[in-house]
Structure 1
Amino acid sequence: MGANDPQFITVGSGASERKIAYLAQNPAREDAASLLWLTGLKSDMISTKAEALAAWTAQHGLGFTRFDYSGHGRSEGLFEEATLSDWLEETAAVFHEITAGPQILVGSSTGAHVALLLLRHLRETTPEEAARIRGLVLIAPAWDLTELMWSQLPEEARSEIEEKGFWVRPSAYDPAGYIITRQFMEDGRRHLLKDTAFDPGRPVLVLQGAEDRDVPIEHARALRTVLAGDWVRITEVPDGEHRLSRPEDLEKLYALIEELV
């Protein structure tokens, strides 16, 4: 089996059953920390940042787990049928079944929102599992994803979603664009963080580009008021855009992770 040949776990049951693809490398020592990588929307577990982190963690003796949400990469399912509830369920399954020992959640854009949802879910349901999370490193955090998306949509797109049930959003990363459904938006509103006074109970370190057009810097800064407990610290990159995958951006990312390791 090659280094990028995935393994699979089954999540859900009945009609909602799907196979989720993942890659996992063990830490050099059993007590060493590991990273759980949570990818961005329409990205996958072999993206530029994911591959860079795989190499970096291997060099530093850290574990690294990554996976594709349903409707992404090599996992089953259609993107236009998936919801945040599905991706949270899949993330929790990977966390419980695949990871072991202390973990650092590293989430990019949508993955940052999922990371926060996972921590909140674990603190509410299995506190002993939540205790394994040392902290979070969030890149361009699209917290409350569906509300952020809705606020950026033109009026005609909102009307299409409400009346037709979907709209095809143009994307700089995918020439075909991607479908936003009413089901996705409605489900996302079940997972809002704003005004919940959620206390993460551990450091939340943010890397944010000032030139990011997908997740405006004001949105990232607002996370300080959304999360209780004064845990959020933001590292701003003056010329950084959304991807933050340049060598100099990756060095900043590694430095944040090292603080939690």
Structure 2
Amino acid sequence: MTEVKTIKWKDENIVLSIDYPKEEYNEYKTVIICHGLIGSRVGVDRLFVKTSNLLTEKGYLVIRFDYKGCGESSGEYGSNRLSDLIEQTEAIIQFAYEEISIKELILLGHSLGGAVALCTAINDSRVSRLIQWAAVGNPAFDIRRIFGADRLSELAEKEVVDFNGYSFYQTYFESLAEYHPLEICHYFSGDVLLAHGSADQDIPYHYMNEYKNNYLQREMGSVEVLLIENGKHTFSSASQFNELISGTIQWLESK
């Protein structure tokens, strides 16, 4: 069963889906999915829908949501700061604890959502475990590279730049430079799963090993890696997705 709800964040409406397992529980192991740049709670090629379908079969409750200006949520995505994305994730966590009896809370973030999930988890002790799929390691550099120098040069002459029909403001890019997830990941003390595709052309998979090495410096918390050979950024082929989700479920169930 899926429920679609809307919560208020500042003046915006943030839309979310709650996917319940078939069996009812007194408390739920809950996974909150954080999408990436101009994504949605559905995911490219239904990545997050497919993920949720398989997680709920295993008894997990899954919350998928659209950041401001994405999917069905109101507002303009490119007017966000990265701190706003963290705050919206926090709002979803707070909603979950108010509406659901939670046994364990796990954040799953993809791409930029992987960095946002980490930054959120560091400051919220309610997050016990973290899953980062193809996570951004250097937000300012990675997102600017995706936009390209020509498009970004337009910001020198005007207030806003268009990217796939979304309007982005200078404040968005300035905010990315304030966060360095690779440098702060050791502050998260819970267990971590890192997954990345070796053929990812959007976010290089060497970040997976850099994250791993930094997580290994911690006194608490384990880290495991899952490299999807020839995997692309959105794991869209059947074989890539099956390897990704089976490895993720195996990690979840082993704890």
Q: TM-score, normalised by structure 2?
A: 0.83
Q: Aligned partner of 2:117: which letter?
A: A
Find the counterpart in structure 2 of residue 98 from structure 1.
96
Aligned pair partner of 1:239 in 217, 230, 244: 230
| 1:167 has 2:161 as partner | yes
* Mean Cα deviation higher: 240-249 or 221-230: 221-230
Q: Aligned partner of 1:215: which letter?
A: I
| 1:112 has 2:103 as partner | no
Give per-residue Cα distances to partners, 1:6-32, cap 9 Å, x unaligned: 2111112xxxx1111011134532334
8 A contact 2:35–2:109 mirrored in 1: yes
Give the SS at the match of 1:102: strand
Give per-residue Cα distances to partners, 1:18-73, cap 9 Å, x unaligned: 11101113453233412111112122112311111221122122111111000101
Q: Aligned partner of 1:260: which letter?
A: L
Question: Distance between the aligned counterparts of 1:226 and 1:166, measured in 2?
Answer: 36
Give the SS at the match of 2:225: strand
8 A contact 1:134–1:260 mirrored in 2: no
Give the SS at the match of 1:81: coil
Question: Distance between the aligned counterparts of 1:231 and 1:162, measured in 2?
Answer: 44
Find the counterpart in structure 2 of residue 75 from structure 1.
73
Query: RMSD across aligned C-alpha pairs, in angstroms?
Result: 2.4
The offset of 1:139, in angstroms, is 1.1
Identical residues among aligned pairs (%): 21
| 1:143 has 2:137 as partner | yes
8 A contact 1:200–1:231 mirrored in 2: no
Distance 1:197 1:243, change over 3 A: closer
More strand by share: 2
Give the SS at the match of 1:21: strand
Q: Which runs of 5+ in 1 are unaligned?
A: 123-129, 170-175
Find the counterpart in structure 2 of residue 210 from structure 1.
198
Distance 1:158 1:85, change over 3 A: same
Find the counterpart in structure 1 of residue 239 from structure 2.
248
The offset of 1:133, in angstroms, is 2.5
Give per-residue Cα distances to partners, 1:173-192, cap 9 Å, x unaligned: xxx35444311011122232
8 A contact 1:135–1:260 mirrored in 2: no
The offset of 1:84, in angstroms, is 1.5
Aligned pair partner of 2:16 in 16, 19, 22: 22
Q: Which runs of 5+ in 2 are unaligned?
A: none
Give per-residue Cα distances to partners, 1:94-146, cap 9 Å, x unaligned: 10112433012111111111110111121xxxxxxx2x423112111013322
Distance 1:60 1:155, change over 3 A: closer
The offset of 1:209, in angstroms, is 0.8
Give per-residue Cα distances to partners, 1:168-217, cap 9 Å, x unaligned: 34xxxxxx354443110111222322434633212221111111110011
* Mean Cα deviation higher: 68-77 or 160-169: 160-169
Q: Aligned partner of 1:257: which letter?
A: I
8 A contact 2:79–2:168 mirrored in 1: no
Q: TM-score, normalised by structure 1?
A: 0.82
Find the counterpart in structure 2 of residue 260 from structure 1.
252
Distance 1:64 1:152, change over 3 A: closer
Give the SS at the match of 2:187: coil
Distance 1:152 1:8, change over 3 A: closer
Give the SS at the match of 2:47: helix
Number of residue pairs aligned between Structure 1 and Structure 2: 241
Find the counterpart in structure 2 of residue 195 from structure 1.
183
Q: Aligned partner of 1:37: which letter?
A: I
